[in-house]
Amino acid sequence: MRIQLDTMREFGKYVLTEHQFAQLIGKARLYQYLLSAQKKEIPSLTFNDSQFNAVARDYYTDSSFCREGNGDINLWKLYGLFTGANKSSYIDSFLGRSVNAYSFTETLLQALEHDSRMSWFIN
C-alpha cells in the first residue's frame, strides 16, 4: 500500500503535453482493434469509447482535473479523469477498470521516464 501511495504522489510530478494527451486518446481508441499479439507488447487498457469521450471532454471542462492553461496535464489529474470516467461502468467491471486506471497511469509515468516499451500510447 505504501508503494502505491508513493507512486500516486509521483503522478503530480509528471506532465503530458497537449500533443501527448491527444496521442493518448487517439491511440486508446485504436487499441481495441490491435491484433492480440500487438496488445501483448503494450500496456493493457480496459476503458471503452464512451469513457474516452468523457476523459477528452473533462480534459477541458472538469473543475478539479482539467488541463492547465498551456494544455499540459499532470498524471494525477489524468488519473482523476480516468477514475471519473469509470463511474459510468457497470458494477461487474468497475473494480477492474479502477485497477487499470492506476496501472495504466503508472505505465505512462514509466514512459515519461523514457521506458520505450511503455511509450506506445504517447509517441
Residues 6+ apart with CB under 8 A from 62: 80, 81, 84
Q: Which residues on neighbouring strands pair with residue 95, listed in sequence order?
A: none
Grid cell of 47 as nine digits: 476503458
Q: What pLDDT, on the 0 to 100 scale, is given for residue 6?
A: 83
State pLDDT tens for residues 52-82: 999 999 999 999 999 999 999 999 999 999 9
Question: What is the predicted pLDDT for the residue at 1?
Answer: 67
Local structure of residue 73 (DSSP, 8 states): E
When computed from its CA atoms, the radius of gyration of the chain, rounded to whole angstroms, is: 14
